[in-house]
Copies of this chain bind each other. A is one copy, B any other.
Amino acid sequence: MTQAALAFDLGGTDLRAALVLRDGSVAQVLTVPTAVTGGVAAVLAQMTGLAETLLALGPQGEIVGIGLGAPGPLDPATGLMIAPPTLPGWQDVPLAQLLADQLGHPVALDNDANMAAMGEWRFGAGRGHAHVLFITVSTGIGGGLVSEGKIFQGHRGLALEIGHMAISETGPRCACGSVGCFEALASGTALGRFGEAAAALPGGALIGQLQAEEGRPGARAVIAAARQGDAVAQALVAAEARWLGLGITNLLHLYSPDVVVIGGGLSNAFDLLQGGIASVVQQRAMSAYRDVAILRAELGAKAGLVGAAALAFSQADLRAQT
């Protein structure tokens, strides 16, 4: 019988669920607005409802486990959601156990970046590699490391907070209160803000116009302007690639992955960034680290769901071994 995992991606806005087969293919994806105001019970009811629908839709298969990606802070070891900012009132909720009790299968809980790392390792750009570093560059910068098949967690699951690695002594203040954080310099949000500043300067007209059309000072307008040949936007994209290269060089020295996989919204501009990143790594990394491939993520918006399923499969395999 076909083996499958149920995968959930719980966000403050949407709750997504999927049935994922052993080969990583996604049979069905369902999305509902998260019942935030209903609290834990309402969300749990949504999840069991989605699970029933998915199982009815099929294909029929043996469910080996459930993977649940959720916003941090959370404790993967105990399955506890500690106090997610996007789910007000959720304080120390043992969501993995609650869902397992409802659905009758073991539940593996972890955060989005770790799930995406699992997905890219097992089914995406990192497959076949022993040490996969996944970096998501989006509103912020997050990371996940899969080393010999396991997510590197550290104490309380708090490792890989790569967005708050300081790489400069100056720069805009980070949301965390510090200065020089990788995220404050190289996230999509940072690029959008640099674009907003440039829009007010000579030569910044196209960026300003595209940001106005988008309705917010985001990175997308900067990328679009760069693709249209705008010189200021191209300079900003080059600076973005340099910051990414500096951060990645550090991460190569610190984790020694055999492959780096870049996901998140800004990976849509991977073709524009790749050359600049590579050039900084060739210049700054020690020679033993220069041959590490830096690749674009393959799973896109499905990474969280596919990764949650990958974790469920891995844990099922571990249980089968012991």
Residues in chain A within 8 A of chain B (CB atoms): 73, 130-131, 147, 152-162, 164-170, 176, 178, 246, 249-251, 253-258, 283-284, 286, 288-289, 292
- A170 surroundings in chain B (CB, below 8 A): 169
- A289 surroundings in chain B (CB, below 8 A): 158
B250 touches A165 (CB 8 A): yes
Query: What is the CB-to-nearest-CB distance from A133 to chain B, in angstroms, rounded to a whole number?
Result: 9
- State the number of copies, please: 2
- A257 surroundings in chain B (CB, below 8 A): 154-155
- A254 surroundings in chain B (CB, below 8 A): 159-162, 165, 251, 254-255
Q: A161-B254, A161-B256, A169-B169 are in contact. List 9 more A-B contacts (CB 8 A).
A: A153-B256, A155-B258, A158-B288, A159-B254, A159-B255, A164-B286, A165-B253, A166-B249, A251-B254
Contact pick for A168, options B155, B162, B168, B251, CB 8 Å:
B168
B169 touches A155 (CB 8 A): no
Query: What is the CB-to-nearest-CB distance from A250 to chain B, in angstroms, rounded to a whole number?
Result: 5
* Bound-complex Cα distance A251 to B160 (A): 9
Q: With CB as the reference atom, state the residue of chain B lying closest to A256.
A: B154
* Bound-complex Cα distance A165 to B288 (A): 15
Query: What is the CB-to-nearest-CB distance from A31 to chain B, in angstroms, rounded to a whole number?
Result: 31
* Bound-complex Cα distance A160 to B250 (A): 10
